[in-house]
Amino acid sequence: MNLADLNIGDQGVICEVSINDIPLKLLEMGCLPGERVTLIQKAPFKDPLYIKVNGSHIAIRVETARQIEVEPI
């Protein structure tokens, strides 16, 4: 399952991140394996997604969210 598959309010633990496919800034902000992530909101046209990870709220594109594998909690 990837981050884009979560529903609003769902939580997951990041299992795998494709380092070559996501921006370095996301890694620096805590989108790393083992971190808990919560899907806060989806924009009206489903892009971008608003997530909470490592205490920060971040907006990311759906295509980037598909590169982040999560295990639902």
Give just the sign of the alpha carbon dihedral 29, 31, 35, 37.
positive
CA angle 38-40-41, nearest 5°?
Answer: 140
Q: Each residue of 20-35: pLDDT tens digit? A: 888 888 888 888 899 9
Q: Reading across the β-sheet that carries 11-17, which strands appear in turn? A: 56-60, 49-53, 36-42, 11-17, 68-72
DSSP H helical ranges for 4-68:
24-28, 62-65
CATH number at residue 60: 2.30.30.90
Q: Does 18 have pLDDT greater than 80?
A: no
Structural domain boundaries, residue 31: 3-72
Q: Structural domain tally of the chain? A: 1
